[in-house]
Amino acid sequence: MPFPDGNERHTYILTSGAAVHVFMAPNVVNALQIHVDVNGTKGPNIIGRDVFALMLYRNGVIDDYANGVTQPPLTEEQRETSYTTWCNSSTVTFWGCFGKLLNDNWEMTY
């Protein structure tokens, strides 16, 4: 799949029903932002439980987003900071949850 240009966005529905939304990351050079909803249109659609955001960088690394980081992979500390700042805060956003899963060996410990 080629990197989309500009505002081009693609949504894919997998045979499992998962939805994958792919577009150029607005604040990161040379990276795709990917949102994954593991159960698609079914609920509950909770960020960090069944909805995740991740980055696919041009160097092939899949990781989370951390403000100011342009060359992945992120460190465990950067992922923990993203988790605390965004995923595990009063204003939950897409970022930080995927990095926490990476740090915790793919186990949802939060």
Q: What is the DSSP string of 2-49?
A: PPPPTT-EEEEE-TTS-EEEEEE-TTSTTEEEEEEETTTTSS---BTT
Contact (Cβ atoms closer than 8 angstroms) between residue 88 and residue 47: no
Across the range 90-110, mean pLDDT stands at 91
Contact (Cβ atoms closer than 8 angstroms) between residue 88 and residue 101: no
| Phi, psi of 21, deg, nearest 5 | -115, 125
Q: What is the pTM of this model?
A: 0.84
**Residue 4's pLDDT is what?**
53
**Residue 2's pLDDT is what?**
52
Contact (Cβ atoms closer than 8 angstroms) between residue 24 and residue 8: yes
Q: pLDDT tens digits for 8-60?
A: 788 999 999 999 999 987 777 678 899 999 999 888 889 999 999 999 988 89
C-alpha 104/C-alpha 40 separation (Å) is 24
